[in-house]
Amino acid sequence: MMKKILLTLLAFSLYAIPNAAKAQSDDEITIVAVGDVMLGSILPNRSYLPPEGEEKKLFDDVKQHLQGDVVFCNVEGTFADQKIGAKQCNNPSQCYTFGMPTSYAKVYRDAGFNLVSVANNHSGDFSEYGKGNARRLFDSLGVNWAGFVDKPTAEFTINGVKYGFCAFAPNNGTVSIHDLDGAKALVRKLSETCDIVIVSFHGGAEGRSYQHVPRTMEHCFGENRGNVYQFAHTLIDEGADIVLGHGPHVTRCVEIYKDRFIAYSMGNFATYSNVSITGESGLAPIFRVKMNGKTGNFISAEIVPTYQIKGKGPLVDPQKRVIKVIQNLTKADMKDNLPTISDEGKITK
């Protein structure tokens, strides 16, 4: 009789173990995130766009890596077929007015992006005409988005997990990175009804001289770009599960704070024209972050290293240069919450 019981228990355990493992893996989600994406502009003229049809191929080299439950980017600019409401742009060498043709919105969707931020300093480059196009296009394509004052959050469900998203910037018409109380209220509200809360911010000073996170207010071009360290920590304290930064046009460090992943800047991922991609400005990560979809806890992450060359989309970097950049910056800036980053780009606690 005892032998029969033991055999029954053994059979049950052999059945139960793989199913327990399956249940654990079912809780795992993957959030893929990159920084600024701007696929050319109609200003100063259409020569600053890819040749007709080539825009559809810009992500060919990296598309296999843009697959996950949530795939995020910052839309650096807006959509415009005409120069309606455009900022003045007389000098082509200093034309930083970004309006992509409206047909390019589908390129984002087809590349794999299902979540985007419109909170940045270029979302208003074509005034309400461009903003209206962005709203209409992303809604019609089923791409989740947020970041305008009148659209501060988005909620959506993928594979049984409910996500809440909010996006911030220091710019007019966007949800303010400076209003910490308002930001905390948005995150609290999302955390009450959502399994996973994703926060995006466009903040920090710009350029290769500003790759470090100073833990103070940062200023650039006479504008207060926020204290991104305080901002990220405050919103995780309030219930955010992952914080995704962009804005400096270079890659910054990463951090695991309270079992939550923070990327302080993801750099220039796909910036076809009128954005410098020389040196480290042309290196960017694809972050593939694995999390528990029920608790929000960080499991692990992977850096897929990419680079840009003029007139092309992002390319996988065989030299893996941005991994070394992130390793060095993280060691320098995050000694108190220092993750392990392997030479192959694996990030662990």
* pLDDT, tens digit (0-9, with 9 covering 90-100), for 293-330: 999 999 999 999 999 999 999 999 999 999 999 999 99
Q: Which of the two residues, 1 and 126, has the higher pLDDT score?
A: 126
Least confident piece of the model among 2-11, 44-53, 95-104: 2-11
- Is 11 a member of any domain? no
- Is 296 a member of any domain? yes
Count of structural domains within the chain: 1
Percent of the chain with pLDDT strictly greater than 90: 89
What are the tens digits of pLDDT across the range 60-111? 999 999 999 999 999 999 999 999 999 887 777 778 999 999 999 999 999 9
- Is 287 a member of any domain? yes
Of 219, 207, 221, the C-alpha closest to 276 is: 207
- Is 25 a member of any domain? no
Query: What is the spatial distance between Cα 253 and Cα 102, in angstroms, rounded to a whole number?
Result: 34
Cα separations (Å) of 99 from 87, 173, 178, 238, 248?
A: 10, 17, 26, 35, 20
Query: What is the spatial distance between Cα 77 and Cα 38, in angstroms, rounded to a whole number?
Result: 6
Average pLDDT over all residues of the chain? 93
- Is 19 a member of any domain? no
- Is 308 a member of any domain? yes
- Is 154 a member of any domain? yes
22 pLDDT higher than 70? no
Torsions phi, psi of 106, nearest 5?
-65, -25
If you write DSSP's letter for every residue of 259-301 in order, what string do you get?
TEEEES-B-EEEE-SSS--SGGGGEEEEEEEEEETTT--EEEE
- Is 16 a member of any domain? no
Find the CATH number of the domain harbouring 187.
Answer: 3.60.21.10
What are the tens digits of pLDDT across the range 151-194? 999 999 999 999 999 999 999 999 999 999 999 999 999 999 99
What is the domain extent for residue 237? 30-348
